Amino acid sequence: MSRRLRIGASSVFALLVGVNASYASGHGPVFGAATPTLGKGGWAFDQAWMGQVMDGLADTSAILRSMIGFGITERLQISGSLPVPLTKADAMPSGRMMAMMSGTSDFESLLGWRFQARPVGEGARFESTAYVGGLVPLDAQRGGINTSPAGLVSLTSGYASRSHYFWAGATYVRHLERGADRLGSVTSYSLVYGYRPPAWRMEYPKPDLRVFVEATGDITGTSLHNGQPMADTGGRIALVGPTMLLLYKAYGIEGGALFPVYQRNRPLQPDERFRFGLNFTYLFWPSRGKGH
């Protein structure tokens, strides 16, 4: 692990230890899309450390991203996130990384609307959430291509109960063109299964532990440079791996890794060995309430 990665990890742990609160809520998986939204008046602060390990590159591509979310109503929330790159990537960014936070050097804002929530049994429900948002690059170029703002749309549906969780979602990101350059569009999809064994079904304020199997995929389009397609950009990848979520009072910690089961990249694009994510969450309300 490089010195910059060690410093970044230490910063994350220091931030977690320095926070103090008394209440926690439900939370989604690490990489995949999920339906939960914050309750009305609820706030959440997330600090994520994520990265990709690529074949043939000397260092890991890693980034810290801080996100603030606010519950406007029981089903409507807004969030914004800022990145702190820990390494300088030697290759074009591949995919989105996390459904709620990208792995690229962009300011990102998302509006989420849980437009459907229907009971399907005792303590279970079927939900759907839509997201719209935008990304503003904080760097001028990536891989020699001029960067530009992008729009995002996402849709997720799933089932949640006290013991089982299942979500399926898809996200599409498309950049504007600037100076006859445009980064390739990214289509991401995910499937998530979660399980909470009987011994772990603790109620507040006891710890709550959940395990997930997450499958994600990215289809990255061809970038344009000087109005011409770049033949060595773009590709497809599908990954699967285990993750885990621990909730305790107002705190949440989750992490895991995904490993490729299929990838097909353009010439000169390195293959991905695995990607990782570690996220700390702090949830708080003006008065004691319940998240969703």
Q: What pLDDT is attached to residue 164?
A: 93
**Structure-token pair, residue 113:** 């609307």
Distance CA 233, CA 47 (A): 30
φ, ψ (nearest 5 deg) of residue 271: -75, 155
Q: What are the pLDDT tens digits along the chain (292 aa)?
A: 444 444 443 443 333 333 333 333 446 899 999 999 888 999 999 999 999 888 876 667 889 999 999 999 999 999 999 999 887 654 555 678 999 999 889 999 999 999 999 999 888 999 999 999 999 999 998 888 899 999 999 999 999 998 999 999 999 999 999 999 999 999 999 999 999 988 777 676 788 899 999 999 999 999 999 999 988 888 899 999 999 999 888 899 999 999 999 999 776 677 889 999 999 999 887 654 444 4
- What is the separation of C-alpha 166 from the centre of its chain, rounded to a whole number of angstroms? 17
Q: What pLDDT is attached to residue 292?
A: 41
Instruction: Report whether 73 contacts 39 (CB < 8 A).
Output: no
Distance CA 144, CA 158 (A): 40
Distance CA 290, CA 49 (A): 27
Q: What pLDDT is attached to residue 124?
A: 92
Q: What pLDDT is attached to residue 24?
A: 35
CATH of 3-284, one of 3.40.50.720, 2.40.160.40, 2.60.40.3670, 2.60.40.10: 2.40.160.40
User: What are the extents of the domains in the chain?
Assistant: 3-284
Instruction: Report whether 114 contacts 75 (CB < 8 A).
Output: yes
Instruction: Report whether 185 contacts 173 (CB < 8 A).
Output: yes
**Which three-class secondary structure state does DSSP give residue 11?**
helix
Helix (H) or strand (E) holding 12: helix 3-17
**Structure-token pair, residue 125:** 């429900």
> Rounded to a whole number, what is the distance in angstroms from the first to the last CA of the chain?
37
